[in-house]
Structure 1
Amino acid sequence: MEKLNEKKGNGVALLPFLIFVFVYLISGIILQIQGVEMAFYQFPAPVAAIIGIIFSFILTKGSLDEKFDIFIKGCGDDNIIIMCIIYLLAGAFSAVSSAMGGVDSAVNLGLTLIPAKYITVGIFVISAFISVSTGTSVGTVVALGPIAVQLVEKGGLNLPLVLGALVGGSMFGDNLSIISDTTIAATRTQGVSMKDKFRANLGFALPAALVTAILLLIFGKPVNIPEAQEYTFNIIKILPYIFVLVASIAGMNVFVVLTGGVIISGAIGLGYGDFKVLQFVQEIYSGFTGMFDIFLLSLLTGGLANMVSSGGGLDWLLYKINKKIKGRKSAELGISALVSLTDMATANNTVSIIINGQIAKEISTEHNIDPRKTASLLDTFSCIIQGIIPYGAQLLIAGSFTSGLVSPVQLVPYIWYCFVLAIFAIISILTPFGNGYLRRNS
């Protein structure tokens, strides 16, 4: 039987994937040059995927019916379908929880509990909690950004540092939240549970967060202590987030967790009169439609990946990569580099994980890497790069709150958490540090 690293494959079959990424990248660069706002998010990724699929149909051998069979089998892969259903439920939970005031209550609770003199590290902690709870770094930046800027003005704080703390905290949650697109994509492509991925990931993400918090405590002290303000919150409205987090870590089935979260959020919203039954149903559907882009992209890239794989494209790529890999550590570094480069090209951490998921799984199998570690690395490094590229949504939105005072490029050096996380993640590859959960549960 031919070993994985002996299959030379066919490099030409990989072209459709490269075309997909190239179209996505070039369109973003052109629109950026033209001064279009959020340039890298204007050309829909599913359309770029369709262009790649068309080229794949042209290059793949066989009849048109045979090509369609290959494409549809990829779209209908079990992991792809499960991933898409989870996206829908995660979207519904996020929409309903937000509509009943859960995000506002969580933010205000954090601002109430954290003393004004610790506001910089407080922004980091609050954004981390919000993003873990809601699964969205962009939503967290949008929710907290105006508050952060206001506190900067009152406290004489370093504006780039505070916004850097905000983005860093939001990326902490994006990386770890069980309802984050990135977590869903990473766990489903590697065939691991969210609970296991969370615990494996926490081994190096938590130390990175603690180091960042210490640095922010030292260097983020306000010149003037902002006057204490009253923030209204309702602890009941935070319960759905706590339920989802605790149930997920406990290992409860993800479909049960998210459905339960939607029901609890809906019951609270109905009980407090935040919406009526019809509005509740509409919020659920709004959450579904909010996930349409990533849902469609997952289906299309699943089909595209299967066509590329059947044509020998992935075998060719793996053959080339494996020639450079000397062992498990270099394989883990290779996976991390692949997803990082893809995120630089696409400015979308979820897309970069979906693109590299199958390749990473093959490399992991060949070099005996724990799939839980692979899922953690895919998620971690995609979030690291997403948090520091100045054309990513997170920095673009954060910069927009400053009325032109601070550009996204100027924010990059202040995203301390992402840089510290990169260091700890690399250490976890090269040493036993951060891998305690994997060793105990191997």
Structure 2
Amino acid sequence: MEKVRLPSLLEVAIVLLLFLAVVFSFTTLGLPIQLALFISWFIMIILGLRLGYRYETLQEGIIKGISNGLEAVLILFAVGALIGTWIAGGIVPSIIYFGLDLIHPSVFLLATLIICSLTALATGTSWGTVGTAGIAMMGIGEALGIPLPIVAGAVLSGAYFGDKLSPLSDSTVLAASMSKVNVISHIKSMLYLDVPAFIITGILFTITGFFYGGKEVDIERVSFIMSALDRTFHINLLMLVPAIIVISLLVMKKPSIPSISIGALLGVLWAFIFQDMNVKDAFNTAYYGFSIDSGIEFIDELLNRGGINGMLSSIAVIILGLGFGGLLERIGILKVIMNTFVNKIKNAGSLSASTIFVGFLSNVFGCAMYVSLILTPKIMESSYDRLKIDRRVLSRNTEVGGTMTSAMVPWSDNGIFMAGILGVSTLSYLPFMWLSIVSIVLSIVYGYAGWFVWKDEGDKV
């Protein structure tokens, strides 16, 4: 029988500082973040042994942590294949082409926000949205001369807005289920926060869009890019059929992994049928991604991406991060942190701020959104029950602290995926993640003002 104890606050501080030191050192030296996470496992294992845990128990914690987020790994495999084949099949290039032809520069950022919101709402996946519509909008934005960090901010704001309000989203379902809340009730409670945040975000991007759209757009450059796309790919409306099919499958609540995989297969067929690519090369784009040497730097940088192989680095980060998060949970790191200020939580305002802080910390130290969505409700639920605040508020604040901040952490699963796909560093697009920033502010204001904070067994949404 193991005789274990919780770590002291000093022990927690030491191991977390060591973790941050390892991560920042590896980042500064240009070493793989995956190695930093792997080394951090051993820091936690040493602390676990000191606390009385056996190796077997700690290994079980790692395995359980990884298994909790395994769906994210499988989705990433499918999304990687989808990106590679949709570029090869002319689907993404066609979206870019039509976007350049139809979207006026002054409303481009607002259009990006809305398009990515609708795509994520319909499909329930922020990753799939960023990997398809997001890539296309980045290409259009660059062609129009709009700074890419701002475009990335609009893409991510839209993707996370739609994802959080979609009953098809695995993260939405996870946040609700871990908080013991019905998914529809959770989404209805999110509306009180997300709709005002979306309106404010839309106004900000509209103003910014008029500023950049008011500048003289290089029409010749736009025409040159459209012409280059038209020469490189067969562009027509038929290229949008795979996107319509995948969105339809997800709207019909079909599981995301097979739906996205079907989309990848359609991309292979479209590459063979419409883009004159042989079968072997078309299938290879699903694993190795799309590759072209068009002689046009913009086209090559934008479209040479995707494939399962291109996702392996991100997958390694997710697996190692999930394992690290499993160790955090097993030895009670975040529980100790929470216990240090749980008695200071006296009202809904401090409770909301604390929940968001714990969710963010879980992303920082757990390195994965799934870790945050699992740990935050477990740690905070007793405080909500003590103050008799409805669990719908817990699930809503968990989403804000866990999901909305996940792409803000450079070494988290979302941070690495979004930066890699969009081609913009995490710290560059972070200041423009306006939906997330506004949501955090509104959540805390709601808490202190008592707005849309329901008492347990009180008003129903």
Using structure 1 for the length normalisation, give the TM-score.
0.68
Question: Aligned match of 2:47 in 44, 55, 67?
Answer: 55
1:118-140 Cα deviation digits (max 9, x unpaired): 12322333444566655238757
Please state how far the C-alpha of 1:261 moved relative to its aligned partner: 0.8
State the secondary structure of the residue aligned to 2:7: helix
The corresponding residue for 2:301 is: none
Q: Measure how far apart 1:380 and its partner are.
A: 1.9
Any conservation in 2 of the 1:389–1:395 contact (CA below 8 Å)?
no
CA contact (8 A) 2:348 2:450 kept: no
Of residues 23, 26, 30, the one that matches 1:28 is 23
Task: Name which of 115, 135, 139 aligns with 2:126.
Answer: 135
Output aligned runs, 1:153-192, within 5 Å. Answer: 161-162=150-151, 164-172=153-161, 183=172, 186=175, 189-190=178-179
Q: How many residues align?
A: 402
Alpha-carbon offset, residue 72 of structure 1: 5.5
Shift of 1:104: 5.0
Tell me, which stretches of 5 or more residues in structure 2 are unaligned? 230-234, 273-278, 289-306
Once the two structures are overlaid, the 10-residue window that deviates more, 43-52 or 184-193, is 184-193
Classify 1:293/1:218 alpha carbon distance in 2 versus 1 (closer, same or farther; 3 Å): closer
1:75/1:166 CA distance change after superposition, 3 Å: closer
Q: Which residue of 2 is the match for residue 6 of structure 1?
A: none
- Aligned counterpart in structure 2 of residue 291 of structure 1, from 315, 318, 327: 315
| Structure 1 pair 371–398 and aligned structure 2 pair: CA distance change class (3 A) | same
Report the CA distance shift for 1:184/1:409 in structure 2 as closer, same or farther (over 3 A).
same
Aligned residue for 1:257? 255
Matching residue of 1:332: 352
The structure 1 residue matched to 2:443, chosen from 413, 425, 436, is 425
Q: Is the contact made by 2:120 and 2:166 (CA closer than 8 Å) also made in structure 1?
A: yes
Quote the offset at 1:422 in angstroms: 2.3
Contact 2:63/2:323, CA 8 A, preserved across alignment = yes
Task: Find out whether 1:272 has 2:270 as its counterpart.
Answer: yes
1:203 matched to 2:172? The reply is: no
Return the match for 2:37 from 36, 45, 52: 45
Say if 1:363 and 1:434 are closer, same or farther in 2 by CA, change over 3 A.
closer
* Residues 265-299 of structure 1: CA deviation (Å, up to 9, x unaligned): 25523543556797598689769955343245324
Classify the secondary structure of the residue corresponding to 1:100. Answer: helix
Task: Find out whether 1:416 has 2:434 as its counterpart.
Answer: yes
- Tell me the equivalent position of 1:5: none
For 1:419 and 1:95, locate their aligned partners in 2 and report how far apart those are by CA, in whole Å: 28
Find the counterpart in structure 2 of residue 99 from structure 1.
84
Amino acid at match of 1:424: L
Q: CA deviation at 1:335?
A: 0.8
Q: Aligned pair in 2 of structure 1 residues 280, 368: CA closer, same or farther (>3 Å)?
A: farther
> What is the CA–CA distance in structure 1 between the aligned matches of 2:82 and 2:365, rounded to whole Å?
33
Candidates 234, 242, 249, aligned match of 1:237: 242
Distance in 1, Cα, partners of 2:349 & 2:148: 39
Once the two structures are superposed, residues 138-178 of structure 1 have per-residue CA deviations (whole angstroms, 9 ceiling, x without a partner) of: 757666445423312xxxx5776555434544554565677
**TM (normalized to structure 2)?**
0.66
User: Once the two structures are aligned, what percentage of the paired residues are identical?
Assistant: 20
Relative to structure 1, the CA distance from residue 384 to residue 235 in structure 2 (aligned partners, 3 Å threshold; closer, same or farther) is same
SS of aligned partner of 1:60? coil
Deviation at 1:323, TM superposition (A): 0.8
Within a 5 Å distance, the mapping from 1:300-319 to structure 2 comes to: 300-306=324-330, 308-309=331-332, 316-319=336-339
Shift in Å, 1:22: 2.9
Assess, with a 3 A threshold, how the Cα gap between structure 1 residues 181 and 263 changes in structure 2: closer, same or farther: closer
- Distance across 2 between alignment mates of 1:349 and 1:180: 13
In 2, Cα distance between equivalents of 1:98 and 1:399: 12
Q: Which moved more, 1:11-20 or 1:320-329?
A: 11-20
SS at match of 1:48: helix
Map 1:208-223; keep pairs closer than 5 Å. 208-221=197-210, 222=213, 223=215
The answer as to whether partners of 2:186 and 2:396 remain within 8 angstroms in 1 is yes
**CA deviation vs aligned residue, 1:45-81 (integer Å, no higher than 9, x gap):** 34423421232122226xx4xx62x44554565x974
Classify 1:268/1:162 alpha carbon distance in 2 versus 1 (closer, same or farther; 3 Å). Answer: closer
Tell me which amino acid in the other structure corresponds to 2:360. Answer: S
Q: In structure 2, what residue type is equivalent to 1:243?
A: S
Confirm or deny: 8 A CA contact 1:27 1:43 kept in the other structure: no
Larger CA deviation: 98-107 vs 331-340? 98-107
Superposition deviation, residue 25 in structure 1: 1.6
| Aligned-residue CA RMSD (Å) | 4.7
Unaligned runs of 5+ in 1: 1-8, 402-406
The answer (yes or no) to whether the contact 1:336–1:381 under 8 Å persists in 2 is: yes
Distance in 1 (CA, whole Å) between partners of 2:32 and 2:161 is 22
Q: Could you tell me which residue of structure 2 aligns to residue 150 of structure 1? A: 143
Closer/same/farther in 2, CA of residues 296 and 314 from structure 1, 3 Å limit: closer
